[in-house]
Amino acid sequence: MSAGLVVCPTPIGNLEDITLRVLAALREADVIACEDTRRTRVLLDRYGVDATLVSYHEHNERGRALELVDRMRGGATVALVSDAGMPLVSDPGYVLVQACVAAGLAVEVLPGPSAVLSALVASALPADRWRFVGFLPRKAGELRALVTAPETTVAFESPGRVAGSLKTLAEVDPDRPVAVCRELTKVHEEVARGTAAELAARYAEAAPKGEVVVVFGGAPEAEGDLDAAVAALRALVDAGAKARPAAGVVSGLTGVSANALYKALTQQ
């Protein structure tokens, strides 16, 4: 591309996961802005890419963004990478992209590896509706609020906090399906699937090692008020309706399971 920014995702573990387009962009760039120049150099050396590197991380990104925008205005092409995965996704880059857009500079985003998407698919949980929330909140109250969402949730978590976060989730819903994905694409890749209670107990004994992505299913849809629905069913039966057909009617109106209604009625 001409002068502007190219956002380049890099492997999340296995260096063979880099794309041909990303390699071409890294070779053609006038400068590569990277989170850790040492880590990026390992990747570039693997593929024989000789490039000029500058550091771009959370502690210098505002000042560095201004410098890089000036270079692009002068005709330079800048490639942006993070240590792993897609820049901006819980990694630096937002300030630079915003600065480029504000300056009217071209921004091209190349597809590539993502721990978020890999974990979502590996979790075997619904992927038709999902959200990514970055790192899980440290406060239990905020985490409890987070797990009430109806869609699948993907989050990063530090290994030492996995057991505690799962314990909080299990307190809200012990049967919630969860997947703990660690070291994705690496030699010791592991995906542990189970309920929140099961995995909380597992990791309470030994914390997982390496980089972790946690995926948990959405909150079950709330059922209607069982007591009120049973009362309505009782009124219909007392008026002469047959219990099972009436349970089906009340279920359709309230969202409470017909079987649960019939069982509650017969146990009264």
- Looking at mean pLDDT, say which of 46-55, 218-227, 232-241 comes out highest: 46-55
Express as a percent the part of the chain with pLDDT over 70. 98
Strand 152-157 vs strand 212-216: parallel, antiparallel, or unpaired?
Answer: antiparallel
Highest-scoring range by mean pLDDT, 147-151, 164-168, 234-238, 257-261: 164-168
119 vs 125: CA distance, rounded Å: 10
Measured distance CA(14)–CA(24) in Å, rounded: 19
pLDDT at 222 over 80: no
Residue 82's identity, in one-letter code, is: S
Whether residue 262 sits in one domain with residue 172: no
Residue identified by tokens 């000036």 is 70
CA distance 19 to 15: 10
Once rounded to an integer, what is the mean pLDDT over residues 64-87? Answer: 96
Model confidence over 116-171: pLDDT tens digits? Answer: 999 999 999 999 999 999 999 989 889 988 888 889 999 999 999 999 999 999 99
- The confidence score (pLDDT) of residue 32 equals 98
Reduce the DSSP state of residue 267 to 3 states and report it. helix
Residue 149's pLDDT is what?
87
CATH number for the domain spanning 194: value is 3.30.950.10
**pLDDT at residue 224, rounded to an integer:** 59
- Per the prediction, the chain carries an average pLDDT of 93
Same domain, 212 and 241: no
8 and 89 together in one domain: yes
CA angle 186, 188, 192 (to 5 degrees): 110
| Same domain membership, residue 183 and residue 161 | yes
- Residue 66: give the domain boundaries: 4-113
**Both 100 and 124 in a single domain?**
no
Q: Does 10 score more than 60 pLDDT?
A: yes
Whether residue 230 has pLDDT greater than 90: no
Alpha-carbon separation of residue 213 from 18, 132, 136, 154, 205 (angstroms): 20, 10, 10, 7, 19
Task: Identify whether 97 is part of a domain.
Answer: yes
Residue 173 and residue 76 in one domain: no
Would you report the helix, strand and coil content of the chain in percent, each value rounded to 5? Answer: 45, 20, 35
How many angstroms separate the CA atoms of 113 and 82, rounded? 12
β partners of residue 92: none
156 lies in some domain: yes
pLDDT greater than 80 at residue 254: no
Q: Given this model, what pLDDT does residue 268 score?
A: 67
Residues 14 and 109 in one domain: yes
What pLDDT score does 221 carry?
64
Are both 150 and 127 inside the same structural domain? Answer: yes
Distance CA 113, CA 92 (A): 16
| Lowest-pLDDT choice from 41-55, 159-173, 186-200, 222-236 | 222-236
Q: How far, rounded to the nearest angstrom, does the alpha carbon of residue 163 sit from its chain's CA centroid?
A: 18
Q: Which two tokens stand for residue 77?
A: 């092409």
Count of other CB atoms within 10 angstroms of residue 267: 7
Instruction: Count how many domains the chain has.
Output: 3
Q: Which residues of 191-215 are buried (b: 16+ CB within 10 A; e: fewer)?
A: bebebbbbbbebbeeeebeebbbbb
Q: What is the mean pLDDT of residues 54-79?
A: 95
Q: Look-up: residue for tokens 């959200």?
A: 131
At residue 251, does pLDDT exceed 90? Answer: no
Q: What is the pTM of this model?
A: 0.78
Task: Please compute the mean of the pLDDT values over residues 229-237 and round it to a whole number.
Answer: 89
Res 257: pLDDT? 76
Residue 229: partners with Cβ closer than 8 Å, 6 or more residues away: 250, 251, 254, 256, 261
Residues 11, 65, single domain; the answer is yes
Does 221 fall in a domain? no
Most distant CA pair in the chain, distance: 85
Residues 123, 211: one domain?
yes
Beta strands in the chain (DSSP E): 4-7, 31-34, 53-55, 77-81, 106-109, 130-135, 152-157, 177-182, 190-195, 212-216
Regarding whether 231 and 191 lie in a shared domain, the answer is: no
Average pLDDT value for residue range 41-67: 95
Can you give the pLDDT at residue 223? 55
Span 188-214, pLDDT tens digits: 999 999 999 999 999 999 999 999 999
- The larger pLDDT score, comparing residue 259 to residue 187, is at 187
Domain annotation covers residue 164: yes
Considering the domain architecture, whether residues 156 and 176 belong to the same structural domain is answered as yes
